[in-house]
Amino acid sequence: MRWLFKTDDSWSSLFLRVMLGVVMFPHGAQKMLGWYGGFGFSGTLGFFTETMHLPWIIAFLIIIGEFFGSLGLLIGFLTRFTALSIGIIMAGAISLVHWPNGFFMNWSGKQQGEGYEFHLLVLAISAVLTFTGAGKWSVDGAIAKKLAK
């Protein structure tokens, strides 16, 4: 339990955590709420299960993980767990969807879909946060101090 909340007091972990939360929030909000042109919860769940043939529990965990995980990252709550979860989601996105499209994003609109460079960056940031924890100004840090007493 202590390992889950343990963190250093670094600025770098804080910056990575907040930026990952900011970047992942719109993706989670698309899937959960239908914001930013997304399908919402039921539409995304249907797409993942019917079109992509993912088991419903995996689809559910992706939606919940991206939405609530991004919020958790912003306040630094359950950072290691969330970062690991988002890293797993990104590894799945690379292997199931983006690998065939190559490395680069579809900047020119000439590819079939998006490449995996974005997902690889998110995966790397997630790995760092899984090892370092939340950094400064985090709920995890406050919980870790309470657990240490």
Stated pTM of the model: 0.92
Q: Report pLDDT digits (tens) over 13-61.
A: 999 999 999 999 999 999 999 999 999 999 999 999 999 999 999 999 9
Tell me how far apart the alpha carbons of residues 73 and 98 are, in angstroms, rounded to a whole number. Answer: 25
Q: What is the pLDDT of residue 88?
A: 98
Q: Report pLDDT digits (tens) over 63-91.
A: 999 999 999 999 999 999 999 999 999 99
Contacts 24+ apart (CB under 8 A), 112-115: none
Q: What is the pLDDT of residue 21?
A: 98
How far, in Å, are 6, 54, 85 from residue 139 at the CA level?
10, 33, 18
Name, in order, each residue with C-beta under 8 angstroms of 129's C-beta and a sequence gap of 6 or more.
13, 16, 17, 20, 73, 79, 80, 83
Q: Report pLDDT digits (tens) over 107-140.
A: 888 888 899 999 999 999 999 999 999 999 999 9
Mark residue 146 as left, alpha or beta (left: phi above 0; alpha: psi -120 to 50; beta: remaining): alpha
Torsion of CA 35, 36, 41, 44, to 10 degrees: 170
Residue recorded with tokens 């709550």? 77
95 DSSP 8-state letter: I
Tell me how far apart the alpha carbons of residues 73 and 39 are, in angstroms, rounded to a whole number. Answer: 23
